[in-house]
Structure 1
Amino acid sequence: MCGIVGYIGTQAATEILVAGLERLEYRGYDSAGVATVDEGKISCVKAKGKLFNLRAKIEQSEYKGQLGIGHTRWATHGKPEEHNAHPHLNTDGTLAVVQNGIIENYLELKEELVSKGIEFRSETDTEVIPHLISVFLHSSSSLMEAIQKTIDRLEGAFAIAVVHAENPYELIVARQQAPLVLGFGQGEFFCASDTTAILPYTRTILNLENGEIAKLTPLGVEMYTFSGDRISRFPRTLDWNPTQVEKQGFRHYMLKEIYEQPAVVRSSLDTYINLNWHADENPDYSPVNIGLTPDMTDNLEHIQIVACGTSWHAALVGKYLLEQVAGIPTTVDYASEFRYSPKPVIPNTLTIGVTQSGETADTIAALESERARRVNLDPKYHARLLAITNRAESTIAQICDCIIDTQAGIEIGVAATKTFVAQTMGFYFLALDLAYRRQAVSNQRISEIVEGLRQIPSQIETILDTQADAIEELAHHFTNETEDFIFIGRGINFPIALEGALKLKEISYIHAEAYPAGEMKHGPIALLDNKVPVVAVAMPGSVYDKVISNAQEAKARDARLIGVTTAMNATEAGHTFDDILTVPEVDEIVSPVLAVVPLQILSYHIAAIKGLDVDQPRNLAKSVTVE
């Protein structure tokens, strides 16, 4: 969840480090720091709070070192104070370490080190690392050996970067269950928690894998296993453009990413839909091409999905599609719960992990535990693992048999928008592919759904062009005294109510809850009065009349009603709703991809009008790489 940047080369490191941290601030923002090596000593600067505080401190002095590490922190152990900020140093200040992750046995290690007379200056788990390395340096032939000995003592998930004043031409990094990527330039090399930090300097990257350690010098990169075996692996070139991590005139990244959604959907359609597929020609191939092999799909009896946060909501849409379109019983679990209370082992089961970053610790752990408990069983019980992710090079892609790359591009805003839509599209492609293979619905119905998906990009553009200003005006009514919101929906759009509530509380800090519309009368209706707005997702289809009826129950309790429905239904719905957020006419089965957009815009403007930090809401991080 924290952000790491490292640099060794021919340029002054400090500006590269701070600029990289600014691109990683979505990973942590409680405090930040950098350490550089110059003329045989380490210069370390830290600051509490946002990165501009660190930058202000750095500008007071000149730092010329061409080797350095930086860190932006999301607090786990120890409050967000300057003394807990990274980098952490050893006792004599000659060695600095930054870490992302959690050292689970740090208390045991700390007690051991304290017994040796070592004094700790922070409450963090990370500080044990520089002290351990320093101890092992006395019995080691190199900095690399001392770090390897230290790693042998660490338990937990971590990515670390280390610099040492007496080794001014070495930057050493290691990874165990926390992301770390290496960047290759001309006579300079980088490391970072995410490629966004180094994208302006290089597009040639290599992801460290679990149990790997690397030494970066001005001459190149050496990679080893933790046990010391040399590794040879080739870097790859990203096709990302540095402008993808810029705001491009938008006030916030979140707003930019909302407006990128038509392009994201078009890209996914272009990638996965077979353009020559026509239902009336009785084709003998699937309407989509997501690369599923027969051993993933044959005799499939059950699907289980694990995810967290917004990805969990996308999975709920997926459950509806997989059951109602593909005809396969499907369960959805929070990844953090699944790992410790797994379902009974069912034969011919496909397990799907959904994660934007591909590094979500709970989701990865759930998939790994599922594979482990099935590995020695009869073949029909063997694990079939599929990932839906935005990062094809991530950890989850390495542990799964197949991935659906959502191809949403870089998402900087902590509150997911375009990646939710992209994940949802991934489930449409999966459901259509399985439906065709199983002949669960007619080719004609598949064709109708595909055609509905083709219309989505232009329909989202219509919402952005015609509704954004009205939604911004509506947002002004909920920025001062509103403390609670209720969202309701039914069927395939109940997950959209959940996602709308999550977006609002994530960035505006207004308490918001979502319920199936039919459940309001079974308890939650007691919350309603004229101070609690209710948002109803009322898309035309099989449950439209039911949602309208449930909304009228809320209206009878004086709640202000906001409806999300189609323009064609707006006049009729106007008799029920006080405010209407309209979307174009759409088939109910594809309506979630449209219905979520007005809710994203509403949440964004409420938070922006309140003057809150939309892109980096308090207490949240973009990629949760610790349990």
Structure 2
Amino acid sequence: MGASGHSGRALVSLLAQAGYRAVSLTASDVLLSAVGFQPADHYIIVSESGRSPETIEAARRLTQGTRVGISNFPQAQIAEVIDVPLGLGGFEDSPVYTAGYTATLMAYALLLEKVGVLPADSNVPRIPEIVENALADFAPVARAVSSLVAAATDIDVVGRGTSFASALETALMIREGLRIPTGAFETYEYLHGPMESVAAGTVVIIFGDERELTIPGSLLDAGVHVVVMTTAHDVPNEGHPNLTVVRLDSCLAGFVRPIVEIVFAQLVLAEAILHKPFPIEQFIYEQPDTKIPIAMLS
């Protein structure tokens, strides 16, 4: 659910590219399925807190012996419904699950390399170093973009493949942290109608290197601010005052790229909240049933 569900989009994208059947299922959708329904041969169950009731109940219905669980707290209730735990470390995280999201992507990378599903990526062991460099390198542009994001009336976030996961998670963080109406769209879906609501006051954040690069052309002169994060050397309309280009190292692939993409988005969020009259940790609407109380842990 939530950020954990968004991370799964990157997982299934890379599995599909490697030729494996994979689907990212929302736990609440599994709960609507017929009794005994088994949509896969193997399952990766993801819940950073280990206490999401929908995820736990969905996992309970899946085939025993085939459930790998990724959680920051694998000793929580999720322990009852998984067969192999992969713990993230039990670290303290932000309310919008920033460290947990990147750690989950890294866990996917290590898991799929370990079982031989994906070839070894020399950048995976360097992820801590790469993230440290990204935090420093992207800080100035994140600060510049943050004022646009904070002042936006609404925000669209666009991407494809693993970058669709980045789009989904960026949109969620902005809605949760900045309280700005935000939507996430797969690149080609965005072209089929959703972009019709874009107007002056909208900020569009795009992750990608191909069709994504032509999207700003029809938006910039309408007063729309567009941020493109890409490995592409040549970006149409670069230099337009409403276009910000953020360049990624072209060697970043696999799970490393969405990790770096979301680190940039997290930096933007951290800077944008400084323009708001409320703290990022303060949620308005509390839901009593999205987490099993810690007091009930055995």
Q: TM-score, normalised by structure 2?
A: 0.87
Separation in 2, partners of 1:311, 1:368: 18
* 2:24 partner SS: strand
Residue in structure 2 matched with residue 317 of structure 1 by the alignment: 10
- Residue 136 of structure 2 is aligned to residue 465 of structure 1: yes
Determine whether 1:578 maps to 2:248: no
**Alignment partner, residue 613 of structure 1:** 279
Per-residue CA deviation, residues 383-433 of structure 1 (Å, 9 max, x unaligned), is 52221101132111232110111226121x211101000111111122223
CA drift of 1:560 comes to 1.2
Tell me whether 1:352 sits opposite 2:34 in the alignment: no
Structure 2 equivalent of residue 335 of structure 1 = 27
Distance 1:518 1:551, change over 3 A: farther
SS for the counterpart of 1:391 is coil
The residue that corresponds to 1:562 in the other structure is 227
Following TM superposition, by how much is the alpha carbon of 1:329 offset from its aligned partner in structure 2, in angstroms? Answer: 0.9
SS in 2 for 1:370: coil
Asked whether 1:395 is paired with 2:77, we answer yes
1:264-317 CA-to-partner distances (Å, cap 9, x unmatched) read xxxxxxxxxxxxxxxxxxxxxxxxxxxxxxxxxxxxxxxxxxxx0000011111
Change in 2 beyond 3 A, CA 1:347/1:530: closer
Q: What TM-score comes out, normalization by structure 1 length?
A: 0.43
CA shift at 1:370, angstroms? 2.7
Give the residue type in structure 2 aligned to 1:569.
H
Match of 1:407 in 2: 89
Distance 1:346 1:403 in 2: 20
Q: Output the amino acid matched with 2:124.
A: L
Counterpart of 2:258 (choices 568, 592, 608) is 592
Question: Cα offset for 1:621?
Answer: 6.8
Within 1, Cα distance between the matches of 2:251 and 2:276? 33
Greater helix content: 2
Q: Shift of the alpha carbon at 1:500?
A: 0.6
Unaligned stretches of 5+ residues in structure 1 = 1-307, 372-381, 539-543
**Aligned residue for 1:24?**
none
RMSD: 2.7
Cα distance in 1 between the residues matched to 2:218 and 2:70: 38
Give, as a single letter, the amino acid of the residue that structure 2 aligns with 1:426: A
For 1:505, what is the secondary structure of its paired residue?
helix
Superposed, 1:250-261 pairs within 5 Å as: none
- Does residue 526 (structure 1) correspond to residue 191 (structure 2)? The answer is no
Aligned to 2:296: none
Report the CA distance between 1:564 and its aligned residue. 1.5
- 1:570 deviation in Å? 7.4
Q: Secondary structure at the match of 2:62?
A: helix
Q: How many residues are paired up? A: 291
Local SS of the residue matching 1:530: coil
Partner of 2:146: 475
Map 1:10-409 to 2 at 5 A: 308-325=1-18, 327-341=19-33, 345-346=37-38, 349-371=41-63, 384-407=66-89, 409=91
- Does the residue aligned with 1:520 lie in a helix, a strand or coil? helix
Partners of 1:560 and 1:468 in 2: how far apart? 19
> Residue 193 of structure 1 aligns with which residue?
none
Distance 1:515 1:398, change over 3 A: same
Greater strand share, structure number: 1
Shift of 1:557: 4.7
Amino acid aligned to 1:471: A
* CA distance in structure 2 between the partners assigned to 1:616 and 1:454 by the alignment: 35
Give the partner amino acid of 1:528.
V
Instruction: Tell me if structure 2 keeps the 8 A contact 1:358–1:396.
Output: yes
Higher relative contact order (CA 8 A, sep 6+): 2
Of structures 1 and 2, the larger Rg is shown by 1
What is the distance in 2 between the residues matched to 1:604 and 1:468? Answer: 10
Supply the distance in 2 between the matched residues of 1:347 and 1:578 (Cα, whole angstroms).
43
Identity rate, percent: 20
Match of 1:498 in 2: 168
